[in-house]
Amino acid sequence: MPLWLLGIIVVVGLTAIWVFMRLYGFDKSLKLTHEMAGQEFTTDNPGLVAEDIVLARSGQAALIRAAGDTYVLWVMGQDVATHNLARARVTEAPEGVTLRLPDFAAPKVTIHLTDDEKRTWLPLIEAAN
């Protein structure tokens, strides 16, 4: 197959995927509600049930208490990730808080919070350590 033809096929294919994603709304990130955060947490952590959920106003993150531990849940596109905050280090950032997690797959996460939310979240995260 000539290189120019392969190039056209790749460009047309990527453009079609982009149009499909835009038309069906797959380019927008997930926005959490309390119920959705609880369901996503249970899906990521089978056997655990969310006892208390503190949701960020943006709907992009949540602090969850379950079985005596505190977890952070954050949105990554159309999916979520959860991590136990037992050994996390937290620092304030201008846009929220930065968590350094003992996980090579997600070593540092910045959660975007308002100033009011920072005052609520920081003591809860520090208490988890």
Shared domain check, 120 and 64:
yes
Shared domain check, 118 and 68:
yes
pLDDT at 44 over 80: yes
CA within 13 Å, CB half, 109: 24
Look up residue 109 and give its two tokens: 């996460």
Say how far apart CA 19 and CA 47 lie, in whole Å.
39
Mean residue pLDDT across the chain = 90
Shared domain check, 93 and 74:
yes
Q: Are 52 and 70 in contact (CB under 8 A)?
A: no
Q: What is the DSSP letter of 106?
A: S
* Mean pLDDT, residues 41-52 taken together: 92
Q: Are 88 and 122 in contact (CB under 8 A)?
A: no
Confidence of residue 127 (pLDDT cuts 50, 70, 90): confident
Shared domain check, 117 and 55:
yes
What pLDDT is attached to residue 87?
86
* Mean pLDDT, residues 36-44 taken together: 93
pLDDT at 63 over 90: yes
Q: What percent of the chain has pLDDT over 90?
A: 51
Least confident segment among 3-17, 35-49, 82-96: 82-96
Q: Which residues pair with 69 in a beta bridge?
A: 66
- Domain containing 4 equals 1-28
Shared domain check, 62 and 9:
no
Say how far apart CA 74 and CA 83 lie, in whole Å.
9
Look up residue 19 and give its two tokens: 């149009």
Place of tokens 């602090």: 63
Count structural domains, the chain: 2
Read off the pTM: 0.77
